[in-house]
Every structure is written in C-alpha cells, then in structure tokens.
Structure 1
C-alpha cells in the first residue's frame, strides 16, 4: 500500500499544476502515481483538471498550417521541375556512351534532344505539373486559370513545333497510308 496523501502533496500538485505541468510530469516530480495526482487534483477546491483539448486543437491547427505551407513549397518546386524540363526540350543536348572492348568514351552534342528524349522530358514535366496541382490546387477562378495556363503551354509547344518542322503538329503531313 502506498503512503497516504498529505498537505505537502496537495500543495505541490497545486503549484505544479499552476505552472502548466501535465499530470504525468507532476507525478514524476512528486514521486507519486498519476492516479494519485488525479485524486489530489479532483479533491481540490475548485477541482484541478488536466484537460488539454484546447492545446491539442491549437497544436493540430498549427500542424495543418505547417503541412499546407510545405505542400505549397513542394508544389512550387514541382512547377520549377516542369519548367526546367520543358526548357530543356529545345536546348542543345549532350549524348555520351562508354563502350567497346577498350571501354572508350564518346560524346556528341546535338542541337536538340531526340524525339524520344523530348517525349520523356514532356512526360516528366506533365507528371510534375499534375502532382503540383494535386498538392496545391488553384483556389480562385480554377477553371479559367487552368485552361489559360494549359492553353498558353500548348500554344507555345505548337509554335515551337511549327518553327522546327514548318507545320503545326495537327496539320496533315500528306502521306496518309489509309
């Protein structure tokens, strides 16, 4: 059986509670069980409570706000990735290889990436934009803004294609097999 509760225990519980300490912290400080601290707190006039719902609610709101800010930062980073990949599609590109029995290194600069590499860059940009919009969807004028951004992106890509190939990507090329 534990030692009886005395006035010193009651005073210590009141003082530590006033400091904002938790029930378990108080129990450790006065070397009593948490249930004994609860009994002492309940017997006080007025009874002391260890209800931390308001603190938990505030902490939860702060945590959610922090996570929202991190998602917004990550969304910006993903937009940067998309822009970088789209920009690389028309820049000179270095190709290299190791090979042969002597393990020789060869490299070659091309005016722009191969179609396969451009397709990979476009897929990377698309995936980055998709994830970015899922992390931080536009809030105001959602449809109009999204359409205008995607529309400008598509117009720019079509213009670039036409400059490089002399026609728009959807124009017939004249050699239908059909």
Structure 2
C-alpha cells in the first residue's frame, strides 16, 4: 500500500482528509495537465492515488490517458523500423559492391627492400586472398541484411531469409575454393 508522505508544509498525513483548497489546486493542475499523477501528487504532498481519485471524482476521466504515450511509442517504433530498413538496405548495397570489386582491376602495393621503396601493380583481378576477403565481407553484409529483414517480418520473409542465407553460405564456400587456388599475387620483394 502506498502511503502519503507525512510531515512538511502542505503534506497530508495518511488517512487525513485533503482540504477543499488543496483539492481545488490539485484539480487545477490536473485540468492544466501540469504533470503526471506522481508529479502533481509530489507538488501537493499527496499520493498519486489521491490525485487519480480527485480526477475521477471530478469527471476528468481522460486526464491521465496513456493514449498520447501509446501514439508516441508507435511513432518511435515506426521511426526505428525505418532506420533498420535503411541500414538493411546499406548492408545489401555494400554486399553487392564488394562482389563487384572481385571482377575489377585491383591495385597491389608494397613497401620493402633495403631502401624501403614503394612498388605497385594493377592486376586484372584481386589476388586470391583479397578475393576471399571480399567474398567473406560480402557474405557478412548479406547476412546482416537478412537478420534485420527477419526481425521486421514473419510472413514469407523467413523463407526468403533462409534462401538468401543459403546463398551466403555458398558465397563463403566459393571463397574457400578461391583461397585454395594457387596465388597470383605479385611479389615485389627484391
């Protein structure tokens, strides 16, 4: 049981009747929507249950409605869902970009030798190790996209996520095969 505070100026002891003046002041705060039941109660030295009772007795049934809070919560959830969709789209776009890089010319470079010289070469495609890293990074980005997608919907998306997860697994296996091929990396060591 919540007890009203005892002591201090304007504080009503438990079981003591709230004065008509104090009741009017509380009702004025309720009508002006000057805070929650707790805040109004604390300001007037009464319990939040007393504030709710005063509101009910005065017919102020919507005074502490949670409808506004519920709407704000739904709006926040919609905002967060939009942010997740945006991040998910970025992951998917990045996965595609990384896969595209596998088929593009690739700059390799090194610093080395006694003079610590810089050497570079452009290869037709990335070396095997870099291909594996691109493939793995792409698979991770795709997997993150799928995980976000799975949290957003339960309808049909689970099947699509499962299928795309299979594609991600296939990409990782392909990366392992590429890794086992002889390396075509350029060595710039003297």
TM-score (norm 2): 0.61
1:32 to 44, 53, 70: 44
Give, in whole Å, the separation in 1 of the partners of 2:74 and 2:109: 51
- For CA contacts below 8 A with separation 6 or more, give which structure has more relative contact order: 2
Give, in whole Å, the separation in 2 of the partners of 1:19 and 1:55: 16
Give 1:60-71 correspondences, 5 Å limit: 60-71=73-84
1:60 alignment partner, SS class: helix
Q: Is the 8 A contact 1:42 1:48 kept in 2?
A: no
Q: Is the 8 A contact 1:41 1:47 kept in 2?
A: no
> What value does the CA root-mean-square deviation take over the aligned residues?
3.6
Give, in whole Å, the separation in 1 of the partners of 2:91 and 2:157: 21
User: Residue 42 of structure 1 aligns with which residue?
Assistant: 53
Please list every run of 5 or more consecutive structure 1 residues that lacks an aligned counterpart in the other structure: 159-168, 170-178
Say yes or no: does 1:100 pair with 2:113: yes
Give 1:14-29 correspondences, 5 Å limit: 14-20=27-33, 21-27=35-41
Give the number of aligned pairs.
Answer: 151
1:136 to 130, 149, 168: 149
2:99 to 86, 99, 120: 86
Give, in whole Å, the separation in 2 of the partners of 1:144 and 1:38: 51
Q: Decide which moves more: 46-55 or 96-105.
A: 46-55
Please list every run of 5 or more consecutive structure 2 residues that lacks an aligned counterpart in the other structure: 1-6, 13-17, 178-190
Give, in whole Å, the separation in 2 of the partners of 1:111 and 1:61: 52
Residues 60/92 of structure 1: CA separation in 2 closer, same or farther (3 Å cut)? same
Q: Decide which moves more: 47-56 or 85-94.
A: 47-56
Residues 48/33 of structure 1: CA separation in 2 closer, same or farther (3 Å cut)? farther
Give, in whole Å, the separation in 2 of the partners of 1:70 and 1:119: 30
Give, in whole Å, the separation in 2 of the partners of 1:144 and 1:10: 61
